[in-house]
Amino acid sequence: MTQVTTALTAFQFRVLEALLEQTDRPAASTPPWHTGRTLAQSLWPYSPAWTRRTRGRNNRNGALGGTMPMKGAKAAWDLVDLGFASATEDENYQPRFTISAAGRDALTHKSTAGSPVTPATPAQTEPTQRYGAAHHSQEG
């Protein structure tokens, strides 16, 4: 397999910096990983989308800031697919994101958006299996 090089955008570097900050220097009351929601809160703390509601059903209001956790998780999954972040699942199959060694290396050698940054190993560039893989493999 040939090694794939990827140019990281300025936004992807922001996501890596947020993951690094949470992993290396978590506040006393926070865990050393991000969820989609906490990553979105770190990236867009003052976004008006936090005060908007999704469409509700059955005469009930939708979730407040409902799409923001999905946007945070999408940003993290993109870096997981490139090998710059890693994801593990908790007991409820919710992803927890941390920065990988390749992500730390990318921040150390912070490239501009047009320059290639190479993941640590070619195996990390393959898409990861998501959404409760362990749970689904146990079903009959």
The answer to whether the beta carbons of residues 120 and 106 sit under 8 Å apart is no
- 123 compared with 12, residue with greater pLDDT: 12
38: which residues sit within 8 A by CB, 6+ positions away?
22, 30, 72
pLDDT of residue 28: 60
- What domains, with CATH codes, occur in the chain? 6-138 (1.10.10.10)
Percent of the chain with pLDDT over 70: 69
7: which residues sit within 8 A by CB, 6+ positions away?
111, 113, 114, 115, 116, 117
Mean pLDDT over the full length of the chain: 74
| Burial status of residue 127 (CB atoms within 10 A of its CB: 0-12, 13-18, 19 or more) | exposed
**How far is residue 97 CA from its own chain's centroid?**
5
Rounded to an integer, what distance in angstroms lies between the CA atom of residue 40 and that of residue 102? 22
| Burial status of residue 120 (CB atoms within 10 A of its CB: 0-12, 13-18, 19 or more) | middle
The pTM (predicted TM-score) of the whole model is 0.67
Each residue of 113-139: pLDDT tens digit?
A: 444 454 544 444 444 555 444 444 444
Angle at 124 between CA 122 and CA 130, to 5 degrees: 145
Each residue of 86-120: pLDDT tens digit?
A: 998 888 888 889 888 898 888 888 744 444 454 54
pLDDT of residue 91: 81
pLDDT of residue 130: 53
